[in-house]
Amino acid sequence: MKLFLDTANLADIKKYAEWGLVDGVTTNPSLIAKEGVSFEKRIKEITKAVKGPVSAEVISTEWKDMVKEGQKYATWAKNIYVKCPMTPDGLIATQKLSKAGIRVNMTLVFSAAQALLAAKAGAAFVSPFIGRINDMGQDGMELIDEITTMYSHYNFKTEILVASVRSPRQVAEAAMLGADICTVPAAIYEKLVKHPLTDQGLSTFLADWKKAQN
Ligand code: E4P
């Protein structure tokens, strides 16, 4: 499973890219707004910081404008993926952009039926938001199970990108279900490597080693 960072913070992206395991980056308008920088400048910076896919979301709500925005973003870098929302206009824009060779990440997906439409529209990625489903008292991971099962019956090229992730455990569960990609905020990325027994074990090993040298 590929691991993406879900952030527009350049320092975090550079920090975790150094670990060598960041396969791409997802952004959204809220994440960009938090940074207080120009959208175009930041997206271009991110596309240089990582080799893999970088998602940049359209702001328009009508398909013709979404297509124009998507075409513009695609000129910024080779690794741009245009994020279109799961709306009727988003579905039209996804088809137009995909047919023109521009890769689309269909975002704000909350049901298996929506994921079916994204695949039929030719989206490169479909982004189910599991955390927001859990926030409503439902089981977001169940949706990932449904989509992986559904896609396994067909030859869809669309990759399942698990989004709105809130814990390291969800990353492992997404991988166990066979999701293609999981995008995680920097704070969760940091926690992926952490375990108290690892820290405890390491300090014991180092202390024992030091004692043996005296
Ligand atoms: C995905 O591409 C989105 O940016 C993201 O995962 C949204 O997550 P949130 O529900 O934590 O805002």
Q: What is the DSSP string of 122-177?
A: T-SEEEEBHHHHHHTTS-HHHHHHHHHHHHHTS----EEEEBS---HHHHHHHHHT
Calculate how far, in angstroms, residue 162's C-alpha sits from the geometric centre of ligand 1.
9
- pLDDT value at position 214? 74
- Mean pLDDT, 10 residues at a time, the chain of 214 residues: 98 97 97 96 98 98 98 98 98 98 98 98 98 97 98 97 98 98 97 97 97 88
Longest CA–CA separation in the chain, Å: 74
143: number of Cβ within 10 Å: 22
List, in order, residues 6 or more apart from 31 with CB less than 8 Å away: 6, 7, 8, 9
Q: How many domains does the chain divide into?
A: 1
**Residue numbers of the domain that contains 170:** 2-213
Protein residues whose CB sits closer than 6 Å to any atom of ligand 1: 6, 26, 28, 107, 127, 129, 131-132, 163-164, 183
Output the pTM of the full model: 0.96
Count Cα atoms within 13 angstroms, Cβ side, for 21: 13
Q: Which CATH number goes with the domain that contains 10?
A: 3.20.20.70
